[in-house]
Structure 1
Amino acid sequence: MELWAGLGQAATVAQLVGVDAGGLITLITQAALTARQNKKACEQLSRRVYMIADLLPHLQQPELMRRPEFQRPLAGLGHTLREAHDLVMLCQRKSRFYRFLNARSLADKLRDIQSRIDSYLVLVPAISYIALTHNLNRIDSLRQNHTILPPPASTSSHSHAVPASAWEGVARFTLAEIAAASNSYAFFTKVGKGTSGTVYRGRLHDGRDVAIKRISKSARDREMVLRTELTVTPHPRHSHLVRLLGWCAEEDERLLVTEYMSNGSLHDHLHGRKPPSSPVTASWKTRVEVLLGASRAIKYLHHSFVPSVIHCNIKSSNILLNAGWTPRLSDLGFSVRHEAGVEEHHYQPQVVGKGGYMDPEYCRTGRLTPATDVYSFGVVMLEVLTGKPPIIATRGEEEQGEVQTDLVHFALPLIEAGELDKLLDGRPEPQPTALQIEALQWVANTAVVCLHRRSILRPRISDVVANLEIALRLASS
C-alpha cells in the first residue's frame, strides 16, 4: 500500500524511531484483523497506529531530525510500536484457558499502550510544527527581499504586472474614512475573523455596504498580505472572486475594502450559523452551483495568470455568497506565484496549520503546486456532501468516548465502498431522486481523486470544473 511504501522508504524516519515503522504498522493492522480476544481494543489500537503512519512522513527533514531536541521525545516510539505488535499477537492465542487466564492482564496492557500511542499522536504534529517554524524563521530574511507578487504601484513590464485598467474603481481610503465607515471597528460591526485579520461590516459615504478587513498587526508578513491582495484581486475581474473596492495603508494600519457578501460563507450554511431554510442548506442543486462557482474561481487563478496563482487557503469559510447566492472566493492574501516546471518551496503556515484541509504531500515536502488547492477543494466537496466540518468527532470504543478524526479518513472509505448514501447530509432532500444521486456521485468521485495523497495523481482544476458542470446538469434535471 502507498501509505506503508512511503514510510518504508523514509530512512530519516526509520533512524529516528529505531525501527521500520511502516513495516511494523502493517503487521499490527494485519494482526488486529485476526485477534481472538480484546478484538475491539486491538482494532482501536490499529486505527491509532494508522494515524501515526500518516503523521510520521511530516518529520522527513533530515537536517532538523538529527538534532537531539527532536530525537529525544521520539526515542521510545519504536519500542512502543514493537510492544503494540507483541500485544496484538498475544490476542491471537487459540487456547481458551490461556485467553481466560490472560484476558484482564492483556486488556490493561492494551489500554496502557493506547495511552502511549495517544501521546505520540499529540507529539508528532507538535514537533512537525516546531520544525516548520524553524524553516520559516530561516527563510524569513530571504522573503523580506523577495516579492512573490509586485507592489500595487508597480510599473514593471513583466507579464504578471497589474494593468492600469484593472485599478478602475479601486480607491485608496484614508484611515478617517475607514473609521467612519466601520464605526471605529465597533464590536457590533464585526462579521468574522480570518487567517490574516478581522472583518467588519461598514457603509461608505456613498451608501455602499462593504466588508473591511483589518489585517492583524501580529500577522506574519502583513505588508505581503496587503500587496498580494492588491495585486491579484483587481486583475481583470472574475464573477466568482470577491471584488476589491479599495485599501488603506496609513500609520500602523493595513486595511482592505471589498464588496459586502450579505449571505455569509458556505461554512455558515453547512455548519449551523444560518437558518435551515437557506437554499444552500436545503437544495442539492444550489450546493453543486456553489461548488462549481468556486472551482471556476480557482481555475481562473491557476490558468489566467502567468505565472499561475496558488490560493493556498481554500476552505468553506473563504467561499462567500452575495445577495443573489452567487459564490465568490475570498482571502487571497497568502496566495503565491507558481512557475510551471520550476521546483520551488514556499513555507506557508496558513496551509500547514489548517486542520482538515492540509495537503499531506505539501506537509511532507514543503512544495506548493496547484494540486495543493485541488486537495483542499476536495475537502470542501466532502463538506458539501456530508454537511460535516473538516474535523469531526466520532464515537470511540467503550470507555474512550469521542475521538476526533478528519473528514477525509472518515468519508473516503465509504465512498470507495459504494456507500455514499451513508454519508449524505439529510437536510436537502432526505430521499434524493435518482438523478440527484447520480449528480452527487459525480461530486463524490471527483472529491476522491482530488484527495489522492500524491499530487501528481490529482486532476487539474479544469477537470474538476468539467465534472461539476456534469453534476449540475444532472442535479437540475
Structure 2
Amino acid sequence: MALWGGLGQAATVAQLVGADVGGLISNIIQAAATARQNKKECEQLARRVLMIADLLPHLQDPEVMRRPEVRRPLTGIDDTLREAHELVTSCQGKSAAYQFVMAGRLADRFRDVQSRIDSYLLVFPFISHIDITRRLDRIYNILLSNDTAGPSSSAGSQLDVLVSQEVLVHRHGVGKFTLKELVVATNNFAQEIGRGSFGRVHKGVLPDGREVAVKSLGKASSQHGWQGLLRELDVVSCLRHKHIVHLVGCCVVRQKKSLLSFWRKNVEKQEELLLVYEYMKNGSLHDHLHGPSSSSSPSPVMASWKMRIEILLGVSRAIEYLHDYAGVIHRDIKLSNILVDSSWVPRLTDFGVVVNWDEA
C-alpha cells in the first residue's frame, strides 16, 4: 500500500509541526478497515488521509518546513487527524440504536472533518512550488558562480543533468522525448508541414497513434532563434486554453552549460531543442482563405459565415486569456498562426516572439 511509503517520511513533519502525523494516519486507516457502522463515510475519510500520506515525501526538506509561510497553514493538522481517528473509532463498537439516534450529528462531524482535511490537501501544491522555486534559485546561483570560475567537465555534466531535470520536469511539467523517438515518429523528419518564427515543423506519429507536429530549429539557426524557441517552451508549457495549441512535450539534446539561455545571453555551446505539439488536422486559416480552391470540396470556413465568426471569437478568447491571465503578448497574430483542429475549433500557435507585459 502507498501508505507505508509515505509514513516513512512522517518524522520530519512530526518534528517541525509538532504532530505524530504518520501514527495518526496509520491508526485511522486501521480503524476504518474494521468499522461496523458508517463504513462508506469511514472509507472516504481514510482515502483522504491516505492522500496526505502519499504527499508526505514532499515535506522532507527541513529548510522548507522551517519557513513560516509553510508551517502556518499546517498548524492544527494533528488535532484534525485525532478528531478523524476518534470519529472512525466511534463507528466500531456502538449499537445500531445509538448510531440511528446520532446519525445526523455524525454526518455533520464527517463533513466538518473531511472539509478540514481537504483544506490541508490544498496546501501541498503550494509547498511543492516553494520547494521547486528554492531549488531553481540555488541552481541559478551555482551556474553563475560556476561560469565565473570556469567549470570542470564533470561539474558541467552534473549541472547539465540537474538543470535539465529540474526545469523540464518540475517547472514546465511537459513530456520528455528522446531524439531517437522523434526521428522514428517523423520518419527522419520527412514531411515538413510548416515554418514558424524560428523553426521548421514536421508531422509525426507517436507509438500510441497520436499525430503530432514537431518544431525544431533550422540548420542555420542563430542564437536569436535558439533563445526564441526557449522562450516559446517557457511560455507555452504554462498555457492551458482550448483555443491554444497544446504542448505535448519536448526534446533537449544536452550539451555543456545546458539551459543557460534562460538567464544569460552568451552561451558557448547551444543545445538542440525540439517542441512537440498536438497536430492540427485541418491546417491553418491561411490555407482555407488563400489556399488553392477546389470546387468539389470547398472549405467549410469559406462556405459558412457562422464558422468564420466562431473562429474569430475563439482567437479573441485566446488573446484575452494571454493578456488577462498569462500576462504575455503574442506579437505575431496572423492567418498562418491560427490553426484549425479536427473539430474545426481554432487554435493559436507559434509563440516564438512572445513577450511579457512588463517587457512590452
Could you tell me the TM-score, scaled by structure 2's length? 0.45
Question: Which structure's CA Rg is the greater one?
Answer: 2
Structure (1 or 2) with the greater helix fraction: 2
Could you tell me the TM-score, scaled by structure 1's length? 0.35
